[in-house]
Amino acid sequence: MKRNDRRINMRPKLLKRVSLDRLMDLKVDYAFKQLFGSEKNKEITVVFLNAVLQRNEHHRIKEIAFANVENAADYEEDKESRLDIVAVTDANEWINIEIQFSNKYDMVKRSLYYWSGLYQKQLTRRMSYTQLQPVIAINIMNFDLFKEMDRFHTSYRLYEDHDHTLLTDVMEFHFLEMPKLIRAWKEDKLDPWNDMLARWLLLLGIVDHRKNKVYEDIYKKLEEIAMEDETLRNAFQDWETLSASQEEWLAYEGRLKRVLDDESARIDSEIREKEARKEGEKEGRQEGHKEGRHEGRQEEIAESTIMFLKAKFPGHSMDVISNKMKTVESLESMKKLQKDLVQAETWTEVKELLE
CB 87 within 8 A of CB 65: yes
Percent of all residues in the chain with a pLDDT value above 70, rounded to a whole number:
86
Tell me what pLDDT residue 343 has: 72
Q: Is the pLDDT of residue 174 over 90?
A: yes
Q: Is the pLDDT of residue 344 over 50?
A: yes
Tell me the average pLDDT across 252-279.
Answer: 81
Strands (E), the chain: 64-66, 85-89, 94-100, 135-141, 153-159, 166-177, 207-208, 213-214
Q: DSSP code of 132? A: P
CA–CA dist 141, 174 (Å, integer)? 11
Q: Which residues contact 309 (CB under 8 A, 6 or more apart)?
A: 316, 318, 321, 341, 342, 350
Average pLDDT, the chain: 85
Tell me what pLDDT residue 264 has: 80
- Between 82 and 337, residue with greater pLDDT: 337
Least confident of 10-24, 74-88, 206-220: 74-88
- Between 300 and 218, residue with greater pLDDT: 218
CA–CA dist 339, 224 (Å, integer)? 87
CB 94 within 8 A of CB 135: yes
Tell me what pLDDT residue 285 has: 59
Beta bridge partners of 64: 89
Q: Is the pLDDT of residue 48 over 80?
A: yes
Single-letter code of the amino acid located at 71: N
Work out whether the CA dihedral 320, 326, 327, 328 comes out positive or negative.
Answer: positive
Least confident of 199-203, 233-237, 346-350: 346-350
Tell me what pLDDT residue 72 has: 40
Tell me what pLDDT residue 286 has: 59
Full DSSP string of 236-252: HHHHHHHHH-HHHHHHH
125-169 confidence digits (pLDDT tens): 788 899 999 999 999 999 999 989 999 999 999 999 999 999 999
Q: Which residues contact 172 (CB under 8 A, 6 or more apart)?
A: 134, 135, 136, 137, 155, 156, 157
- Residue 320's pLDDT band (cuts 50, 70, 90): confident
pTM, 2 dp:
0.72
Q: Which helix (H) or strand (E) holds 353?
A: helix 347-354
CA–chain centroid gap for 51, Å, is: 22
301-316 confidence digits (pLDDT tens): 888 788 777 777 777 8
Name the region of 121 (left: φ>0; alpha: ψ -120 to 50; beta: rest).
Answer: alpha
- Residue 73's pLDDT band (cuts 50, 70, 90): very low
